[in-house]
A and B are shown apart, each in its own frame.
Chain A
Amino acid sequence: MSALASGSTAMGQATAAGPSYTAPTTVDDVIAAMATGSRVVAGGTDLVVGSRQGRWPVPEHLVAIHRVNSLRGIRPVVDGGLWLGATATHGEIAEDATIRERYTALADASSIVGSRATRNVGTLGGNIANASPAAETSGPLMCFGATCMLESRNGRRELPLDELFSGPGRTVAAMDELLVSVSLPAQPAGTGSCYARLEYRRQMEIAVVGATAVVTLDGGQITAARVAITSLAPTVRRVPEAEAALIGSTGDRAAAERAGEAAAAASLPIDDVRAAADYRRAMAAVITRRVVQAAVDRARGETVSIPASASLHGAL
């Protein structure tokens, strides 16, 4: 179980008697607390809500990271990419002009996480570290080629996001590693992107099925494509077969349908309280097709409003 999975119940070596809570202002102090078994809390929207639902107890020892300035913010970097601090909130991401223009799928995702209250305090780092197969932001981040920076007392290491997740609620990060930031590389000109999910109501939802597409158009042809599926496998994951189906095409409906079929074929859906597996698999095709078409539209400069979920199939 990863230290990043804020809902994890694993206990470290904390020696203090009784529960503890600290809220340091430096990464070093956070890491020190983690090294003695404290678990990280940022917005608390997974940790506390999950605890109230009886899914896990609140950890005995908590280190809160909201006071650490160096974990905050969204900043452009010199090579044209973007740096996001672990405690950037979904509200900040959804409103960020650069993200809305150049990493639109991420804005699609962050603007539909939970409720407005959730988005005001829920963080990108928490969304990633919780490693939910339904996490909204993971598909867009993966498709944009995001890397995440992990830090512990042993130093820092940078990991591509698609190597981070190892299962539902699990990551390859060590118990004492803190997710510090996420970096997004620059996207080529002519890139459009979209994330959407199947949702049963218009607010307070969770992805029953989600899909991301990032496509680059050059001379009317797709030259690069990335597709990821959400809530359709033990982790959010890329679908190379869907990407292959798009490259070289014009991004027309037939190509989008082929991508959708590839996404459905790559799905390992489960039966649960939200949907039956066969329905989920069929929806993988529908939602993937729709996000591919919306990403192509955006790459062509057409407007598909954010969040795409509302305008694509919640459309009214």
Chain B
Amino acid sequence: MTMTTEPRTAPVVRLDGREKVTGVGRYAADMTLTGLLHGRFRFADIGHARIKRIDTTRAKALPGVVAVITEADVPDVQYGLFIKDRRLFAKGVVRWEGEVVAAVAALTPEIAKRAVELIEIDYEPLPVITDIEAALAPGAPLIHENWESYWQDEKLVRSGNEASRSTIVKGDTAAALASADLVVKGRYVAAGSQAAPIEPRAILAEWRSDRVQIWSSTQVPFAARSLVSETLGLPENKIRVTVPHLGGGFGAKCEGHFEPQVAALARAARRPVKVVFSRRDEFLAPDHRREGMIVEVESGVMRDGTIVARRAQVLTENGAYSADEPLITILAAIFSTGPYNVPNVDITGRCAYTNTQPSGSVRAPGAPQAAWALEQHMDEIAKALDMDPVDLRRKNLLRNGDLSPTSQVMSEIRAVETLDKAAELIGWGQPLPDDEGIGIACAWWPSFPMATSAFVKINVDGSPTIITGAQECGTGAVMTLPILAGEILGIDPSEFSLVYQDTESGPWDGGAGGSQTLFNNGRAVADAAMDVRRQLLKLAADELEAAEDDIELADGRARVKGSPDRFVTIAALADKTQGTQLLVGKGSGEVPPTPASDTSACTGRLGAESFAAPTFGTHAVRVKVDRDTGVVRVLKVVAAHDSGYIVNKVGAAGQVTGGVVMGLGQALTEGTQISGEGRVRNAHLLDYKLQTMADVPDISVWFTDTAVSDAGPKGSKGVGEPPCIPTPGAVANAIAAATGARVRELPATPGRIWSALREGQA
């Protein structure tokens, strides 16, 4: 087959596409096994309480119930990324409504449901804290009474309900603020929100002697395996985690979730068990939702628009237990200064325990809310200076040679290009109808270099296979790997098969998080393909009686450069390897270095201060606001990104489009609502309002598409997360531009816009 178009621009036929589109693809909930039991969790169902008694007698006595387990039935292990503050099942105290207290395995889902209801729990209610500032107030009741006894990362600074405290400090902010022409202040409050993957998670576990096979809808099979290992005390090679097709995750399926509980349940039942979450469970129980955040920021600016200093306090909502939120809080602190050249910064990030669902990474964790706050603040500065918001940003955006908040020297970045392009494509400055407005927002985000490996093999018939530990979460990142291998081996990408998302088949991988899949696995696969390429060239050199340097691989053949008639097919070469050395390549590639930074004045560091291959982007949004009702319709979005070289243009544009839509929902209609008792009030899709296809506006995507060094394959950067960062801020600014009223709460619901308009009129 000949490639008539450049593979990165051609519509890639995804190797998983046909089965997903036709409905034959299998997800974890679709699976069944001989002797399968149906599991169900008993959740706390109360915001905060001491457990006085758990009695499973009646549940166990129900006909059809095979096993009921609680904390008493598993090893007493505490776990957690930075603070080991939680257990598989609640012990003594429940701290949020979705905490798992017990699990049941039964012959049918209906029996399991009834058995769960028959578990008797006596609670002594404890004070419920749902508010971040109330949790941090002096004298607030402790959510973890024994917090001092928990293991913690040695670099973590914490106290009581404050799960982490960190600072980003550069220069002399107090002096710079004092000498500034003007100081502009703002306070912005963002509600927590949900990743809301369309597939509620499902987990199956089946023991085979002393080994357990788990199928899980996880974004991170290797991390899930590690959690099972840590909590159940098994070596990793006795645990296999396999992911059938994954129906989205958006970060909510990062880290291990519930795999250990289901494995423990299957072990107790001595039969395979499947747990399938309802939509309600998916809203309430996973410990990864986007955190609520309060940003208070003040900037010292000069009359010409130069920002000389920025001080900020970022409060984040940790929830009842600590996942990766302390690290996310550091990211949020960095993002609260934006992608701007600010010589003096003093930012404190504080992460607060609350009696709510634990927060954790959701697509670009910490960034959208911080950017939403900061980009509104930028517009408020522009207004105070009577300056055009685009001009203010252009004056202050990071350029090559500038220093980040942690004094990382910027190089090969194109932030200003994204601003200018977004302004141009949206028609910045054009006259608009009275009820319309355009807003703009900038953002940045790191790439995440990490180790991984891959194999590329040529089967004896010449067909190629990629073996990777990578996880496809719907982004197409894994599906893009054949483009890279195919180019190196002269094979059409559609001819590859893929072995992936299985801990026993592929090498370790960080999983579908941090926009890292193609960034790192692309490097490993390309390296493995180069290994096979060398083997092929050697075989071909013998066969064609030519020097290896004179041979090229193209169209499934090895041929002598300049003499296309002198060739041998890769299939023929593969056939010759039978009985000798098979064509197997392996590779890891060299992990790109993380740039130097100066964090000497920073405290509570957990490792996110230096941004490898940082991406930059600007979104511009045009909205129409119904002033009587506060209902916003988004008319157009322009998304301009510096993501380095683009490996798969169709896939990358799809990521940006999806990120924009996710951002629109966060900006306008989503937001988790929590009662004072710690109960989520909108744990379903009617009242947790994701954007529908009917709401999606015209979206234009533009890339700098320029290779950079110290980055991913071919000079690329991570592309999955950044597109959901600038949208909420751009929408907020567009609403303010259209109405003159500014909504400093997220989401900007019609009711809030209506209130802001009324206050504006007053």
* Nearest CB in chain A to that of B110: its residue: A19
Interface centre among B629, B631, B633, B689 (most CB of A within 10 A): B629
Residue of A nearest to B755 (CB): A279
8 Å CB contact of B624 from A199, A206, A274, A316: A316
**Interface residues as binary, B658-676 with A (CB distance below 8 Å gives 1, 0 otherwise):** 0000000000110001000
How distant is the Cα of A313 from the Cα of B668 in the complex, in angstroms? 16
- Check: B50 CB closer than 8 A to any chain A CB: no
B627-668 CB contacts (< 8 Å) to partner A: 628-629, 631, 633, 635, 668
Q: How far is the CB of B389 from chain A (nearest CB, A)?
A: 25
Separation of A198 and B669 alpha carbons in the complex (Å): 14
Contact with B631, one of A200, A204, A273, A276 (Cβ below 8 angstroms): A200
Chain A, residues 195-233, CB within 8 Å of chain B (1/0): the string is 000111111101000000000000000000000000000
Q: Smallest Cβ distance from B284 to chain A, in angstroms?
A: 10
Binary flags per residue of A237-280, CB closer than 8 Å to B gives 1, else 0: 00000000000000000000000000000000000011110010
B751 touches A273 (CB 8 A): no
Could you say which of B635, B684, B689, B755 contacts A316, with CB atoms under 8 Å apart? B635
Q: Indicate whether A314 sits within 8 Å of B751 (C-beta atoms), given known contacts A52-B278, A273-B687.
A: no
* Pairwise interchain contact B629-A286, C-beta atoms closer than 8 A: yes
A54 touches B633 (CB 8 A): no
Q: CB within 8 Å of B: which of A256-313?
A: 273-276, 279, 282-283, 286-287, 313
Contacts of B685 in A (CB 8 A): 204
CA distance A53 to B631 in the complex (A): 27
Q: A17 to B626: give the CA distance in the assembly, Å.
A: 56
Instruction: Name which of B84-92, B316-324, B492-500, B690-698 contacts chain A.
Output: B690-698
B689:A200 contact, CB within 8 angstroms: yes
Tell me whether B754 is interfacial, beta carbon within 8 Å. yes
Tell me if B631 and A274 are in contact (CB < 8 A).
Answer: no
Residues in B with CB closer than 8 Å to A276 are: 751
Asked if B749 CB lies within 8 Å of chain A CBs, one says yes
Knowing A198-B750, A276-B751, the reply to whether A203 touches B692 (Cβ < 8 A) is yes
Given contacts A203-B692, A282-B754, contact A273 B682 (CB under 8 A): yes
With A200-B689, A201-B689, A201-B694 as contacts: A286 and B280 at CB distance below 8 Å: no
> Would you call B695 and A203 a contact (CB within 8 A)?
yes
A288 to B450, CA, bound (A): 59
Contact of A204 among B673, B692, B754 (CB under 8 A): B692
Contact A201 B691 (CB under 8 A): yes
A279 touches B692 (CB 8 A): no
Closest to B668 in A: A200
Given A53-B684, A283-B629, decide whether A200 and B750 contact each other with a Cβ distance below 8 A. yes
Whether the Cβ atoms of B681 and A54 lie closer than 8 Å is no
Q: Which residues of A contact B668 (CB under 8 A)?
A: 200
Shortest CB-to-CB span from A201 to chain B, Å, is: 5
Contact (A202, B749) CB under 8 Å given A274-B687, A313-B629, A314-B631: no
In whole angstroms, how far apart are the Cα atoms of A109 and B684 in the complex?
Answer: 23
Q: Complex: how many Å from CA A200 to CA B754?
A: 13
On whether the beta carbons of A202 and B695 are closer than 8 Å, the reply is yes
Select one of A204, A206, A274, A316 contacting B633, CB under 8 A. Answer: A316
Given A283-B629, A286-B628, A316-B635: A201 and B755 within 8 A (CB)? Answer: no
B751: chain A residues at CB < 8 Å are: 275-276, 279
A104 vs B689: C-alpha distance when bound (angstroms): 28
Q: Which residues of B contact A273 (CB under 8 A)?
A: 673, 681-682, 687
| Shortest distance between the CB of B12 and any CB in chain A (Å) | 30
In whole angstroms, how far apart are the Cα atoms of A201 and B688 in the complex?
11
Q: Which residues of A contact B750 (CB under 8 A)?
A: 198, 200, 279
A286 cross-chain contacts in B, Cβ below 8 A? 628-629
Q: Using a CB-CB cutoff of 8 Å, which residues 746-760 of chain B contact chain A?
A: 749-751, 754-755
A282: shortest Cβ distance to chain B, in Å?
7
User: Residue B762 at the A interface, CB < 8 A?
Assistant: no
Distance (whole angstroms) from the CB of B636 to the closest CB of chain A? 11
Give B727-762 interface residues, CB cut-off 8 Å to A: 749-751, 754-755
Closest residue of chain A to B635 (Cβ to Cβ) is A316
Confirm or deny: B686 has a beta carbon within 8 angstroms of a beta carbon on chain A: yes
Verify B631–A279 contact, CB threshold 8 A: no
Contact B624 A204 (CB under 8 A): no
Distance of A279 Cα from B631 Cα, bound (Å): 12
Q: Mark B482-510, 1 if CB is under 8 A from A, else 0.
A: 00000000000000000000000000000
A224 to chain B, nearest CB (A): 27
Contact A313 B691 (CB under 8 A): no
B187 at interface by CB-CB < 8 Å: no
B279 lies within 8 A of A52 (CB): yes
CB of A201 within 8 A of CB of B695, answer yes
Chain A residues whose C-beta falls within 8 Å of the C-beta of B755 in the assembled complex: 279
Q: Mark B414-432, 1 if CB is under 8 A from A, else 0.
A: 0000000000000000000
Residues from chain B with a CB closer than 8 A to the CB of A203 are 692-695
In the complex, chain B residues whose CB is within 8 Å of the CB of A199: 631
Q: Once the chains are docked, how many angstroms separate the CA of A314 from the CA of B693?
A: 15
Question: In the complex, what's the smallest C-beta–C-beta distance from A141 to chain B, in angstroms?
Answer: 23
Residue of A nearest to B681 (CB): A273
Instruction: Point out which of A274, A276, A316 has the most chain B C-beta atoms below 10 A from its C-beta.
Output: A274
Interface residue ranges of A65-99 to B (CB < 8 Å): none
Interface centre among A54, A201, A204, A287 (most CB of B within 10 A): A201
Residues of B close to A313: CB separation below 8 A: 626, 628-629, 631
In the complex the two chains form, what is the Cα distance from A53 to B281 in whole Å?
10
A201 contact set on B, CB distance < 8 A: 669, 689, 691-692, 694-695
B624 to chain A: closest residue by CB: A316
- For A114, give the chain B residue with the smallest CB separation: B686
> Residues of B contacting A204 with CB < 8 Å?
685-686, 692
Question: When each residue 254-276 of chain B gets 1 if its CB lies under 8 Å from chain A and 0 otherwise, what string results?
Answer: 00000000000000000000000
Q: Which residues of B contact A (CB under 8 A)?
A: 278-280, 624, 626, 628-629, 631, 633, 635, 668-669, 673, 681-682, 684-687, 689, 691-695, 749-751, 754-755
In the complex, besides A203-B693, A274-B687, A287-B629, 10 extra interface pairs with C-beta distance below 8 angstroms are A52-B280, A53-B280, A53-B684, A54-B280, A200-B669, A273-B681, A273-B687, A279-B751, A316-B624, A316-B635
11 contacts between A and B (CB under 8 A): A198-B629, A198-B750, A199-B631, A200-B631, A200-B668, A200-B749, A201-B689, A201-B694, A273-B687, A313-B629, A314-B633
The 6 closest A-B pairs by CB, nearest first: A202-B694, A279-B751, A203-B692, A203-B694, A273-B681, A286-B628
